Each structure stands twice: as structure tokens, then as C-alpha cells.
Amino acid sequence: MIGRLNHVAIAVPDLAAATANYRDGLGAKVSAPQDLPEHGVTVVFVELPNTKIELLHPLGANSPIAAFLEKNPAGGMHHVCFDVDDIIKARDHLKAAGKRVLGDGEPKIGAHNKPVLFLHPKDFSGTLVEIEQA
Ligand code: CO
């Protein structure tokens, strides 16, 4: 069911500093910052040969990553995202396996304009997992 690693998302308190780290320190190709108001984040995409890193910074008053950064003021890994072929099949399979799907269980359109769902971190070794329809 699970496909390739789509991205690893890292919440950062200083987006410009984190972007410079990846660009200048690691020599990575980085995008311009993009505001995604419907997701409450500003994101920089770091393009790697085999996957992406997404640097997430809170946008607006009710950002879903604000509480995470309060607990992790230096930033930290926020979630991993895996491709799936069919998100509804994947969701139903996960639910049947006793895994908790966050929210109302209906896919939302994610940062790449594709349907995504999030899975409860307690069901995946303390890691928030996103699945995205490839
Ligand atoms: Co993501």
C-alpha cells in the first residue's frame, strides 16, 4: 500500500535561517517561501534527488504548528508523508487495522494540491504520518 517517501516536514521558528541552512550549509535547492493560508503555514520546499523536505513556519493566529513550536522552540520534525495510490482504500485499510485517522476522516487538499490525510502519532511510534494520493 505505502509508496515512496513524499516529504519530511520540519517545523522551524525562523524560516529564513532554516532555508539558509539547507541552501548554504547543505547546498540544497530551495523554493521561495509560499504562504498557504488554508493550512496556516508558510512553507519552503527543499528539493532533494529522492524526496523533499518541507520547512514549515506558522502563518496566522490559529496555525496547526504553533503548539508544536511552543513545545519545541528550536523546531523539530513535524511529520513524514508517504504516497499512496488510492487514499480512500488506504484510509479504509488503516481504519480496519485500528489506526486513527485525524479530523473527520475525509481527505483534504494538501500543500501539493492532492488529497491528504493525517494519522494519529500514537499509532505510529510517536510520529505524525501524512498520506498523500500520488
Ligand atoms: Co506534509
Q: Name all domains of the chain by residue range, CATH numbers in brackets.
A: 2-133 (3.10.180.10)
The Å distance, Cα 131 to ligand 1 centre, comes to 8
| Catalytic (active site) residue 130 | yes
- Would the pTM of this model clear 0.95, i.e. be above it? no
CA 128, chain centre distance (Å): 9
The Å distance, Cα 79 to ligand 1 centre, comes to 7
The Å distance, Cα 130 to ligand 1 centre, comes to 6
d(CA 69, CA 51): 24
- What are the φ/ψ torsions at residue 119 (nearest 5 degrees)? -115, 145
Q: Which of 47, 70, 106, 130 is catalytic?
A: 130
Residue 29, pLDDT above cutoff 90: yes
pLDDT tens, position by position, 60-112:
988 999 999 999 999 999 999 999 999 999 999 999 999 999 999 999 998 88
Contacts of 63 (CB under 8 A, 6+ apart): 40, 41
The Å distance, Cα 36 to ligand 1 centre, comes to 12
Residue 1, pLDDT above cutoff 90: no
Q: In the prediction, which pLDDT does 112 show?
A: 85
Average confidence score pLDDT of the chain: 96
d(CA 81, CA 76): 15
The Å distance, Cα 39 to ligand 1 centre, comes to 10
Q: In the prediction, which pLDDT does 14 show?
A: 98
Residues by chain with Cβ below 5 Å of ion ligand 1? 9, 81, 130
Going by pLDDT thresholds of 50, 70 and 90, the confidence category of residue 114 is: very high
d(CA 26, CA 131): 27
- What are the φ/ψ torsions at residue 120 (nearest 5 degrees)? -60, 130
Contacts of 38 (CB under 8 A, 6+ apart): none
